[in-house]
Structures are given as structure tokens and as C-alpha cells.
Structure 1
Amino acid sequence: MSKKENGYSEDVSILSDGVNIEGKITSNGNVRIDGKIIGDVSVKGNLTLGNSAEIKGEVTAKNMTASGKVEGILKIEDKLTLESTCVIKGDIITKILVIEEGAKFDGKSSMTQSSSYSSTSSTNAAD
């Protein structure tokens, strides 16, 4: 298993269409999901959801590109891309949010900044 300088594996784990999982999924690398997951998904690398993917649970990842369906909270560290076939029911927390025409999103979104930016803002607000 090879690792990048950022600490997560370059390898990609694939959960194919037809795979149904109930439970928590964690990965130190990149993951592509085309199946159905009932439970939380935590990925230290990039997460890709194909058109047939369905997740019910909390999703955390470094970056995420979604074409499938998610019902739950999405906590994406850097960039979340909702492609035209994507359906999201739940709240989104991310730094960068890209929503393509046709994507459906029902929930709240919060655009977060790095922790150093937040502490600087808090310090300046107190002055």
C-alpha cells in the first residue's frame, strides 16, 4: 500500500453496484461507492459516489464527488461536488461546495474555514 505525503493511501477501494452494507465503513485511502450503505462512511482520502450509490448515514471525507443519493450529514474537509444526478437530503459542512445544474439538495449548508482562520477571526472580533 502506497501513501502520499498527506498521509492517506493512493489505493482506491470499490464497493460495486449490487453490494449492500449495514454498518460503519472506514478507509485510510480513496473510496468509490456504487452500492447501498446504511451506516456511517468515513474516508481520509477522496470519496466518489456513482449514479447507483445510496447512503443513509453520516459521511466524512477529505473531498467528495457525488452522483448518487445521500440521506444524512456530509462533513467534507475540502471540496464537495454535487453532480447533476445527485440527490442530497441532509446538512452539508465543507470549505468548497460545487453544485451542478440538475443536482438536488434539501438541507442546510455551512462553508467552513481552516482552524487558523477561525481563531484569527475570533481574536479580531474580541478587540
Structure 2
Amino acid sequence: MFFNRKKQPAIRSLIGEGTQVHGELRFDAGLRIDGEVLGDVVATEPTSLLVISENARVQGKVMAGHVIINGQVQGPVVATALLELQPKARIVGDVHYEALEMHQGATIDGVMKHVSGGEAEVERPLLKLAAANEG
């Protein structure tokens, strides 16, 4: 019955409760945040796992393959595979996901957008063409 489920990567890094990190955080495999991060949290592997626990806070972009949130995120969230929002999840920012599991009580203040496959991995920048210089 669980044969189709892929094995999740091991959580090899932890930001403990009472710890505050300033700046961008890059990780592969698995990361659990119990403290506070002021900056972006970005996975370098598409099969990564990110857990933001009940007492955790992140102010910045969150991007990983499988994202589990039960804390607070202020910023955009991109889950290239699965986004799990547990009952105490609070997100203020836009959410991009391929698959979504949302428990009763979780809240999102932003736009939710379903993306398929690799679309969620790269945010496409808005292109602006410069006007020709008349002279």
C-alpha cells in the first residue's frame, strides 16, 4: 500500500528552538527549523525535505521539493513536489505547489498557484524591453 511512496531524505540539519539565523540558508537532503530564520531558505536538491515546526518562524522565501509547515512563514513558498500545511501553519505570501495537503486550521494570506513538474523550480523573471534610444 505504501510501495509507490518515495523514501524521504534524512534530516541532517537542525536549527534549534531559541536559535536565530540571519541570511540565506542553502541545504540539500533534509532540514528542520525549530528556531527563527531571517532570510531565504532554499534547497539545492529537488528531492529535498524541509520541515518548519510549530514554534518556527521564517521571514523570506522558502523553496524545497517537499515542504512541511506547522509554523509561520512570511514570504513566498515554493514546493516543487509536495506542500503539507499542518493545523498551525501560517503563511503570508504567495504559494506555488505541485501537490497540496492542507489541514483544517492552516491559513494562507496570498495567492495559491498549482504548477506542474519543473515549473515550480524556476521563477521566471518579468522581461522588460528597453525603448530604442532616439537621437
> Is TM-score (shorter-chain normalized) higher than 0.5?
yes
The equivalent of 2:39 in structure 1 is 39
1:99, distance to aligned residue in structure 2 (A): 1.1
Question: TM-score, structure 2 length as denominator?
Answer: 0.76
1:10, distance to aligned residue in structure 2 (A): 3.4
The equivalent of 1:70 in structure 2 is 73
Structure 2 residue ranges without an equivalent (≥5): 1-5, 120-135
Which of the pair has more CA radius of gyration? 2
**1:58 equivalent in alignment to 2:61:** yes
Question: TM-score, structure 1 length as denominator?
Answer: 0.81
Taking only the aligned residue pairs, the percentage that are identical comes to 25
Aligned residues: 110
What does the per-residue CA deviation read over 1:29-50, in whole Å, with 9 as the maximum and x for residues that have no partner? Answer: 2000000011000123100011
Structure 1 residue ranges without an equivalent (≥5): 1-5, 117-127
1:47-126 correspondence runs (5 A): 47-115=50-118
Which protein has the bigger helix share? Answer: 1
The equivalent of 1:30 in structure 2 is 30
Counterpart contact for 1:62–1:79, Cα < 8 Å: yes
Change (3 A) 1:86 1:115: closer
**1:12 equivalent in alignment to 2:15:** no
Distance 1:20 1:115 in 2: 32
Counterpart contact for 1:9–1:28, Cα < 8 Å: no
SS in 2 for 1:55: strand
Moved over 3 A (4+): 8-11
Task: Name the amino acid aligned to 1:38.
Answer: L
